Protein backbone atom coordinates (compact mmCIF):
# COMPACT_ATOMS: atom_id res chain seq x y z
CA UNK A 1 0.00 0.00 0.00
CA UNK A 2 1.34 3.40 -0.99
CA UNK A 3 2.62 5.73 1.71
CA UNK A 4 1.23 9.26 1.80
CA UNK A 5 3.13 12.24 0.39
CA UNK A 6 2.55 16.02 0.44
CA UNK A 7 0.61 15.74 -2.82
CA UNK A 8 -1.99 13.45 -1.17
CA UNK A 9 -2.92 16.11 1.39
CA UNK A 10 -5.34 19.03 1.18
CA UNK A 11 -4.19 22.54 2.05
CA UNK A 12 -5.67 23.93 5.29
CA UNK A 13 -8.04 26.12 3.30
CA UNK A 14 -9.18 23.32 1.00
CA UNK A 15 -9.58 20.91 3.93
CA UNK A 16 -11.74 23.41 5.82
CA UNK A 17 -14.03 23.51 2.78
CA UNK A 18 -14.38 19.74 2.24
CA UNK A 19 -13.98 18.53 5.85
CA UNK A 20 -17.66 17.60 6.54
CA UNK A 21 -17.92 15.35 3.45
CA UNK A 22 -14.42 13.95 3.88
CA UNK A 23 -15.12 13.15 7.54
CA UNK A 24 -18.36 11.40 6.59
CA UNK A 25 -16.51 9.30 4.00
CA UNK A 26 -13.80 8.33 6.53
CA UNK A 27 -16.33 7.42 9.26
CA UNK A 28 -18.19 5.13 6.83
CA UNK A 29 -14.84 3.58 5.80
CA UNK A 30 -13.76 3.05 9.43
CA UNK A 31 -16.95 1.15 10.29
CA UNK A 32 -15.60 -1.95 8.54
CA UNK A 33 -12.16 -1.56 10.13
CA UNK A 34 -13.27 -1.65 13.77
CA UNK A 35 -13.17 -4.97 15.61
CA UNK A 36 -14.25 -5.16 19.27
CA UNK A 37 -12.85 -8.18 21.13
CA UNK A 38 -14.91 -8.56 24.29
CA UNK A 39 -16.40 -5.56 26.12
CA UNK A 40 -13.26 -3.46 26.68
CA UNK A 41 -10.78 -4.04 23.83
CA UNK A 42 -11.00 -2.90 20.22
CA UNK A 43 -8.72 -3.15 17.21
CA UNK A 44 -8.95 -0.21 14.80
CA UNK A 45 -7.24 -1.33 11.58
CA UNK A 46 -5.42 1.52 9.86
CA UNK A 47 -4.83 2.21 6.18
CA UNK A 48 -3.91 5.14 3.91
CA UNK A 49 -7.33 6.80 4.23
CA UNK A 50 -7.54 6.55 8.05
CA UNK A 51 -4.00 7.96 8.26
CA UNK A 52 -4.73 10.76 5.80
CA UNK A 53 -7.65 11.76 8.00
CA UNK A 54 -5.44 11.66 11.11
CA UNK A 55 -2.79 13.83 9.43
CA UNK A 56 -5.33 16.31 8.04
CA UNK A 57 -6.87 16.68 11.50
CA UNK A 58 -3.46 17.22 13.12
CA UNK A 59 -2.50 19.83 10.51
CA UNK A 60 -5.84 21.56 11.07
CA UNK A 61 -5.66 21.56 14.89
CA UNK A 62 -2.01 22.62 15.00
CA UNK A 63 -2.39 25.03 12.03
CA UNK A 64 0.63 23.43 10.34
CA UNK A 65 1.26 24.59 6.77
CA UNK A 66 5.07 24.68 6.46
CA UNK A 67 6.58 21.79 4.44
CA UNK A 68 8.85 20.65 7.31
CA UNK A 69 5.94 20.44 9.75
CA UNK A 70 3.81 18.55 7.23
CA UNK A 71 6.69 16.12 6.62
CA UNK A 72 6.97 15.48 10.37
CA UNK A 73 3.30 14.43 10.46
CA UNK A 74 3.78 12.21 7.38
CA UNK A 75 6.83 10.59 9.03
CA UNK A 76 4.84 10.00 12.23
CA UNK A 77 1.78 8.41 10.61
CA UNK A 78 3.06 6.67 7.46
CA UNK A 79 4.48 3.73 9.46
CA UNK A 80 0.88 2.86 10.47
CA UNK A 81 -0.13 2.20 6.85
CA UNK A 82 0.04 -1.55 6.04
CA UNK A 83 2.78 -2.68 3.64
CA UNK A 84 0.84 -5.35 1.72
CA UNK A 85 1.96 -8.31 3.84
CA UNK A 86 0.70 -7.10 7.20
CA UNK A 87 -2.17 -5.54 9.09
CA UNK A 88 -1.59 -2.54 11.32
CA UNK A 89 -3.98 -1.57 14.08
CA UNK A 90 -4.46 0.83 16.93
CA UNK A 91 -5.42 -1.35 19.90
CA UNK A 92 -7.51 0.43 22.52
CA UNK A 93 -8.54 -0.61 26.01
CA UNK A 94 -11.75 1.26 26.73
CA UNK A 95 -13.11 1.81 30.24
CA UNK A 96 -15.40 4.83 30.68
CA UNK A 97 -14.80 5.06 34.44
CA UNK A 98 -11.33 6.40 35.28
CA UNK A 99 -10.88 4.43 38.53
CA UNK A 100 -11.97 1.22 36.84
CA UNK A 101 -9.59 1.96 33.96
CA UNK A 102 -6.64 2.48 36.31
CA UNK A 103 -7.36 -0.80 38.11
CA UNK A 104 -7.71 -2.74 34.85
CA UNK A 105 -4.56 -1.29 33.27
CA UNK A 106 -2.60 -2.73 36.20
CA UNK A 107 -4.25 -6.14 35.74
CA UNK A 108 -3.78 -6.15 31.96
CA UNK A 109 -0.01 -5.67 31.91
CA UNK A 110 1.36 -7.24 28.70
CA UNK A 111 -2.07 -7.68 27.08
CA UNK A 112 -0.81 -6.45 23.70
CA UNK A 113 1.34 -9.60 23.44
CA UNK A 114 -1.76 -11.76 23.99
CA UNK A 115 -3.73 -10.43 21.01
CA UNK A 116 -3.89 -12.80 18.05
CA UNK A 117 -5.30 -13.08 14.54
CA UNK A 118 -5.71 -16.39 12.75
CA UNK A 119 -6.34 -16.97 9.04
CA UNK A 120 -8.18 -20.26 8.54
CA UNK A 121 -6.32 -23.10 10.27
CA UNK A 122 -2.90 -21.48 9.93
CA UNK A 123 -0.86 -20.50 13.02
CA UNK A 124 -2.07 -17.59 15.16
CA UNK A 125 -0.31 -14.33 14.30
CA UNK A 126 0.98 -12.48 17.35
CA UNK A 127 1.64 -8.77 16.87
CA UNK A 128 4.80 -6.75 17.01
CA UNK A 129 3.72 -4.06 19.47
CA UNK A 130 4.63 -0.42 20.02
CA UNK A 131 7.59 -0.08 17.68
CA UNK A 132 7.44 3.70 18.05
CA UNK A 133 7.88 3.83 21.84
CA UNK A 134 7.45 1.82 25.02
CA UNK A 135 3.85 2.13 26.19
CA UNK A 136 3.87 0.34 29.51
CA UNK A 137 5.92 0.34 32.67
CA UNK A 138 6.41 -2.33 35.34
CA UNK A 139 3.09 -1.50 37.00
CA UNK A 140 0.56 -0.86 34.24
CA UNK A 141 -0.06 -1.04 30.53
CA UNK A 142 -1.23 1.82 28.32
CA UNK A 143 -4.80 2.15 27.09
CA UNK A 144 -3.46 2.58 23.52
CA UNK A 145 -1.03 0.32 21.64
CA UNK A 146 0.05 0.15 18.02
CA UNK A 147 0.21 -3.39 16.62
CA UNK A 148 1.66 -4.88 13.44
CA UNK A 149 0.53 -8.35 12.37
CA UNK A 150 2.94 -9.90 9.83
CA UNK A 151 1.47 -12.53 7.49
CA UNK A 152 3.36 -15.26 5.65
CA UNK A 153 2.72 -15.58 1.87
CA UNK A 154 0.59 -18.66 2.70
CA UNK A 155 -1.57 -16.58 5.08
CA UNK A 156 -1.96 -13.80 2.50
CA UNK A 157 -3.06 -16.34 -0.12
CA UNK A 158 -5.49 -18.05 2.28
CA UNK A 159 -7.05 -14.71 3.27
CA UNK A 160 -7.42 -13.70 -0.37
CA UNK A 161 -8.99 -17.09 -1.14
CA UNK A 162 -11.74 -16.47 1.42
CA UNK A 163 -10.40 -18.24 4.53
CA UNK A 164 -12.24 -17.10 7.68
CA UNK A 165 -10.49 -14.84 10.14
CA UNK A 166 -10.50 -15.28 13.91
CA UNK A 167 -9.42 -12.69 16.49
CA UNK A 168 -8.58 -13.45 20.11
CA UNK A 169 -7.11 -12.16 23.33
CA UNK A 170 -5.88 -14.80 25.79
CA UNK A 171 -4.45 -12.69 28.61
CA UNK A 172 -4.94 -14.38 32.02
CA UNK A 173 -7.22 -11.50 33.09
CA UNK A 174 -9.05 -10.99 29.78
CA UNK A 175 -10.04 -13.84 27.48
CA UNK A 176 -12.33 -13.20 24.53
CA UNK A 177 -12.49 -14.17 20.89
CA UNK A 178 -14.35 -13.23 17.73
CA UNK A 179 -14.85 -16.29 15.55
CA UNK A 180 -15.36 -15.66 12.75
CA UNK A 181 -14.53 -11.99 12.26
CA UNK A 182 -17.55 -10.38 10.51
CA UNK A 183 -17.35 -10.61 6.72
CA UNK A 184 -17.37 -6.84 6.11
CA UNK A 185 -14.31 -6.45 8.38
CA UNK A 186 -12.57 -9.49 6.86
CA UNK A 187 -13.17 -8.15 3.33
CA UNK A 188 -11.75 -4.73 4.27
CA UNK A 189 -8.62 -6.37 5.67
CA UNK A 190 -8.11 -8.55 2.60
CA UNK A 191 -7.94 -5.33 0.54
CA UNK A 192 -4.87 -4.34 2.62
CA UNK A 193 -2.99 -7.37 1.29
CA UNK A 194 -1.21 -7.18 -2.06
CA UNK A 195 -1.37 -10.08 -4.47
CA UNK A 196 1.88 -11.86 -5.02
CA UNK A 197 3.63 -10.64 -1.87
CA UNK A 198 6.72 -12.79 -1.18
User: What domain count does the chain have?
Assistant: 1
Could you tell me if residue 150 is inside a domain? yes
Q: For residue 197, is pLDDT > 50?
A: no
Could you tell me if residue 172 is inside a domain? yes
Could you tell me if residue 23 is inside a domain? no
**By residue range, what is the domain housing residue 124?**
94-198
Could you tell me if residue 42 is inside a domain? no
Residue 133 or 129, more confident:
129
State residue 133's pLDDT score: 59
Could you tell me if residue 7 is inside a domain? no
**pLDDT tens digits, residue range 18-65?**
999 999 999 999 999 999 999 999 999 999 999 999 999 999 999 999
Could you tell me if residue 53 is inside a domain? no
Could you tell me if residue 86 is inside a domain? no
| pTM of the complete model | 0.90
pLDDT band at 140 (very low <50, low <70, confident <90, very high): confident
Cis, bond preceding 180 (omega within 30 deg of 0):
yes
**pLDDT tens digits, residue range 76-94?**
999 999 999 999 999 999 9
Amino acid sequence: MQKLTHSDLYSLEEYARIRPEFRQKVMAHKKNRRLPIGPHATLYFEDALTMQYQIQEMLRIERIFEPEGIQEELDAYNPLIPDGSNWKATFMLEFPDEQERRAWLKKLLGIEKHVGLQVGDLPVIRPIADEDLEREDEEKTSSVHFLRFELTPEMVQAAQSGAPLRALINHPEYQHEVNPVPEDVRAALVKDLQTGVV
